[in-house]
Structure 1
Amino acid sequence: MRNIFYSSLIALIGIVLVGCSAEKYFNEGDKHYEYLRYSEAIASYEKGIKKDRNLEVLEKMGNAYYFMGKYEKAMELYEECMANKSAADKLNFYYARALMATGKTKEAKGYLTRYLLRHPNDVVAGMLLSSVNSINERYIDTSLFTLEKIPTDDFTGAFSAVEYRDGIVFSGEKEVFRGSKQSPWTGNSYLDLYYMEKDEDGNWLSPEILQGTINGKFHEGPASFSKSGDVVYFTRSNYFKRKMEISNEEENNLKIFIAKSEDGKWKHLEELPFNSDNYSCGHPALASDDKTLYFVSDMPGGYGGTDIYVTRFENGEWTKPENLGETVNTPGNEMFPYMHDDGILYFSSDAHNSMGGLDVFLTYEYNGRWMKPENLNYPLNSLKDDFSFVLSEDNTTGFVTSSRANKDELYEFKKNAPTFILYGRARKKDSFDPVAGVTVEITRGSDGKVITMTSDKDGKFEYQLDVEEEYHLLCTKIGCFTRTDKVSTKGKKYSENFYADFIVEEIELNKPIVLEDIFYDFDRWNIRPDAATELDKLVKLLKDNPTIHIEMGSHCDARGKDHYNQVLSDKRALAAVRYLIYKGIAADRLSWKGYGETVPRNQCVNGVKCSEEQHQENRRTEFKVTKL
């Protein structure tokens, strides 16, 4: 259900006009539409358009259906309007919004782009386009949450489940017969607070309405309980002791009330001091200290439709509410805050790159500043509205509300740890030929546990890594160079595959092995940055194989005198050895030799004209194992 802050909670009073002409029905519908009584507005409009299919009225009907969560019907009306060349330009925005709600994000992009070309300063439209462009990011890891719907078949809508005693309390509405008291927004009953718990087999029992004065004639919405469970903060329409209060705009706004449990019933209702008859306050969320309260309001001075505020109980009274600021709040709607014991704030927003409707986000305060909100992604979030996220103390289970099945319903979720798989491969150097029988030791950093395995006939091995761990990999085969690697899952929130590619190379004494990318500038012997990168690989190889001794050999091109090149190559080989020593390799494992221009790799010898690239190929460094 779209725009939950209003659609689920506001009870408005208006004057019903009776007439027979299309204009009278349109005027009647406009009155209802202006005061957000969408179900009544549609009923009046329907009577009028039978006589006159007025374009402006059809557009308002589309909006009314959209806010009631009937997106397909809204799209049908928008399309009829857009077929008319005189249709309002804003319809591109409305239609795109409905397309996003039904999963047609690619189509929505075109309409939003077209609209923004003419209205580049429309912040909300810009946010929706950003959401469309980033939609694939929302599916980065679809295994992090497992959702199971809670059976509430007797309700036309149920939302905002919170833990209470051995079960949950939620807000729900039911279908009512004509003549009964109806919510003018949806045509269903007003919202009440219900309690539901599981039986011994884990099955949910039938909900029971909360007893006492907590449920009244109009809307009661999201609730939040103290740690002891005997104090509740809840949202309700602005009425008290049977009296409905109306704002200057003839609206009945929302207020936050407090009640206390006595003899199994909720009594002693009081409203909080920062409420107002002229703006709404709702969606209370009490922090674990029982003294900090987060809530939602459209009070003046905010950033958009609804913002999140915080107030604290100090010296026997609630402090002046503070807006959480523009990092959290946007020109869109931020709603349904929930502060977990670990200091993470969860809330829902139709901005912040959502999937199109309300999405659940998280943020936290660091050094007095709120961090950029993070989308919890699919499958917790969907293309429809997802909100009222609460997390149990075990940090792995909780509840969320979603309209993904075309009405607001309660879901129980399990938070799964990300999965990390290591895929390894052993292959011969300079080829993809697999090597079987390679021993791989995987050492876990937290406790030093060693897991040993061998590569199969395809040279492969596989291992599932733990979360928040570091691993050291050791790959060995008799007569071959040992190779090592490191893998870490620390700080990673999403499932990921890791790949280890081990090169298996036999150790042959006195066989030159060219370090392909170690080059020198003409007439120079200093180690260039690109050469240092390659020498670092040799450093690792020597550390992985601490029993081998090597000789570094350096070669020059044919330019210059033979004696000079001999001296230059000796300096280059020595420079490489000094670099290895600097990187921690013992000097007694290293020797060097300059070969001058005596062993070219190509035809560029004295008297042969060659390019600079061909000469540079001969300016190279090699190593060979001299001792095991």
Structure 2
Amino acid sequence: MKRYYYIGVLLISLVIFSCSDNRNDNSIIYPEPKPDTVALKFLPGIVNSDTLDFNAAFSPDGKSFYFSRSHNRKYLMLETVFDGNNWSSPKPFLPVDTAFSNADPFITADGSMYFISEMPRNESDTVKDFDIWVIRKQGSKWSKPENIAAVNSDSIEYYVSVAANGNLYFSSNRSGGFGEHDIYVSKKVNGQYTRPVNLGPTINSAGTEQDPLIFPDESILISTIVNRTDGYGEADLYYSFKNSDSTFTKAKNMGSKINTPSFDYCPNYSPDLKYFFFSSDPEVKWIDLNYMKSKILGINR
């Protein structure tokens, strides 16, 4: 399954974490069985249906879970809610316009949801492409979606993740890159997003790099690379560490504990940083994050 975004066509993301991330670390009740050294399907029958489900994003309190589903040639964001005993049947996330494709939710510690959508930026926008948007939690309600104009272009932007300092990482097929799809960062300076910068040749290549997951302190970047020679399948998850000069090390394959002969993509972490989530066509999976850190990334501290 190739997860690319084309204009008008849909073809079927831990060293020491920043204290400023302020994540809830005690109150989340996860479904059983919980994974340890082997990745398991997450919420089978609710998330993993007979359709293509992908993405994994929790509200900060862990009581709402958001994912995406391929539905009628569109992408639909869904929400399931934990009532203290059970998770609800997933329903469309209605604060966004479901007439358009919406996907790739990422939720920050303050509850803001970043996502991608084909919604037009305004009435004069006639280019049908994916942009990055944000919607903010205001008490029990959500704000109107806001297009993040500083990072978007007339090309495709998708799969956003946000560091604790606000720096925003995403994928795009915009011109001027190294290949078909590259990974970029837009730094947040004085509350404003700056011009996106390509992460360079240690991360990007002549092929496709996508679905960046930046860890809160920016020490680790996990991404999907398509059809690399050391891969286990069509697309695999890879990891990189940040250097002292703010570049990243060359991406290394995460191995067979994570990757499969299929398409592995959409990495994310739980709000308390206990579990690592990813999509493996057509399922959403999870695995213990400390195990992943020590045994897969080789971090023994």
How high is the TM-score relative to the length of structure 2? 0.78
The one-letter code sitting in structure 2 at the alignment partner of 1:267 is S
The one-letter code sitting in structure 2 at the alignment partner of 1:375 is N
**Structure 2 partner of 1:261:** 137
- The structure whose residues are more often helix, as a share, is 1
- Match 2:201 to one of 326, 344, 351: 326
Q: Deviations over 1:568-587 (max 9, x none)?
A: xxxxxxxxxxxxxxxxxxxx
- Match 2:120 to one of 217, 239, 260: 239
Alpha-carbon separation, structure 1, partners of 2:235 and 2:136: 32
Alpha-carbon separation, structure 2, partners of 1:395 and 1:387: 19
> Does the Cα contact within 8 Å between 2:56 and 2:65 map onto a contact in 1?
yes
**Structure 1 partner of 2:179:** 304
Local SS of the residue matching 2:4: helix
1:219 paired with 2:63, answer no
1:156 paired with 2:47, answer no
Equivalent residue runs for 1:446-461 within 5 Å: none
> Does the Cα contact within 8 Å between 2:64 and 2:79 map onto a contact in 1?
yes
**Deviation of the 1:346 alpha carbon:** 1.0
- Match 1:271 to one of 137, 143, 147: 147
**Deviation of the 1:394 alpha carbon:** 5.2
Q: Deviations over 1:297-316 (max 9, x none)?
A: 11111111111100112134
Distance 1:395 1:234, change over 3 A: closer
**Deviation of the 1:357 alpha carbon:** 1.3
Distance 1:278 1:200, change over 3 A: closer
- Match 1:359 to one of 228, 236, 239: 236
**Structure 1 partner of 2:70:** 173
> Does the Cα contact within 8 Å between 1:155 and 1:173 map onto a contact in 2?
no
Alpha-carbon separation, structure 1, partners of 2:132 and 2:99: 16
Alpha-carbon separation, structure 1, partners of 2:123 and 2:287: 38
Alpha-carbon separation, structure 2, partners of 1:492 and 1:387: 21
1:387 paired with 2:280, answer no
**Structure 2 partner of 1:5:** 4
> Does the Cα contact within 8 Å between 1:211 and 1:264 map onto a contact in 2?
no
> Does the Cα contact within 8 Å between 1:211 and 1:266 map onto a contact in 2?
no
The one-letter code sitting in structure 1 at the alignment partner of 2:113 is V
Local SS of the residue matching 1:228: coil
**Structure 1 partner of 2:29:** none
> Does the Cα contact within 8 Å between 1:390 and 1:400 map onto a contact in 2?
yes
Q: Deviations over 1:157-184 (max 9, x none)?
A: 211111213232111133xxxxxxx42x
The structure with the larger Rg is 1
- Match 1:146 to one of 39, 63, 87: 39
The one-letter code sitting in structure 2 at the alignment partner of 1:170 is F
The number of residues matched between the two structures is 269
Distance 1:493 1:288, change over 3 A: closer
Alpha-carbon separation, structure 2, partners of 1:277 and 1:326: 22
- Match 1:209 to one of 92, 107, 115: 92
Alpha-carbon separation, structure 2, partners of 1:239 and 1:145: 41
**Deviation of the 1:5 alpha carbon:** 2.7
Alpha-carbon separation, structure 2, partners of 1:417 and 1:275: 34
**Deviation of the 1:292 alpha carbon:** 0.6
Equivalent residue runs for 1:336-347 within 5 Å: 336-342=211-217, 343-347=219-223
Alpha-carbon separation, structure 1, partners of 2:7 and 2:54: 17
**Structure 1 partner of 2:283:** 409
The one-letter code sitting in structure 2 at the alignment partner of 1:292 is N
Local SS of the residue matching 2:279: strand
> Does the Cα contact within 8 Å between 1:144 and 1:416 map onto a contact in 2?
no
Gaps of 5+ in 2: 13-35
**Structure 2 partner of 1:54:** none
Alpha-carbon separation, structure 1, partners of 2:122 and 2:99: 10
Distance 1:298 1:417, change over 3 A: closer
> Does the Cα contact within 8 Å between 1:386 and 1:400 map onto a contact in 2?
yes
Q: Deviations over 1:349-387 (max 9, x none)?
A: 114422131111111111213112121111311011111
**Structure 2 partner of 1:192:** 76
Local SS of the residue matching 2:187: strand
Alpha-carbon separation, structure 1, partners of 2:141 and 2:272: 29
> Does the Cα contact within 8 Å between 2:53 and 2:67 map onto a contact in 1?
yes
Alpha-carbon separation, structure 2, partners of 1:305 and 1:144: 34
Distance 1:232 1:146, change over 3 A: closer
Root mean square deviation of aligned Cα: 3.0
Distance 1:163 1:278, change over 3 A: same
Alpha-carbon separation, structure 2, partners of 1:148 and 1:218: 28
Distance 1:242 1:218, change over 3 A: farther
Alpha-carbon separation, structure 2, partners of 1:155 and 1:263: 35
Local SS of the residue matching 2:39: strand
Q: Deviations over 1:277-306 (max 9, x none)?
A: 5311111101122x1100111111111111
**Deviation of the 1:197 alpha carbon:** 3.7
Q: Deviations over 1:222-252 (max 9, x none)?
A: 02222110x2221011524677622xxxxx2
> Does the Cα contact within 8 Å between 1:221 and 1:234 map onto a contact in 2?
yes
**Structure 2 partner of 1:560:** none
1:228 paired with 2:127, answer no
Alpha-carbon separation, structure 2, partners of 1:356 and 1:153: 21
How high is the TM-score relative to the length of structure 1? 0.39
**Structure 1 partner of 2:23:** none
Distance 1:373 1:278, change over 3 A: same
Alpha-carbon separation, structure 2, partners of 1:417 and 1:259: 33
> Does the Cα contact within 8 Å between 1:341 and 1:393 map onto a contact in 2?
no
1:294 paired with 2:164, answer no
Larger RCO, structures 1/2 (Cα 8 Å, 6+ apart): 2
Alpha-carbon separation, structure 2, partners of 1:302 and 1:277: 13
**Deviation of the 1:417 alpha carbon:** 4.0
- The structure whose residues are more often strand, as a share, is 2
Alpha-carbon separation, structure 2, partners of 1:264 and 1:346: 32
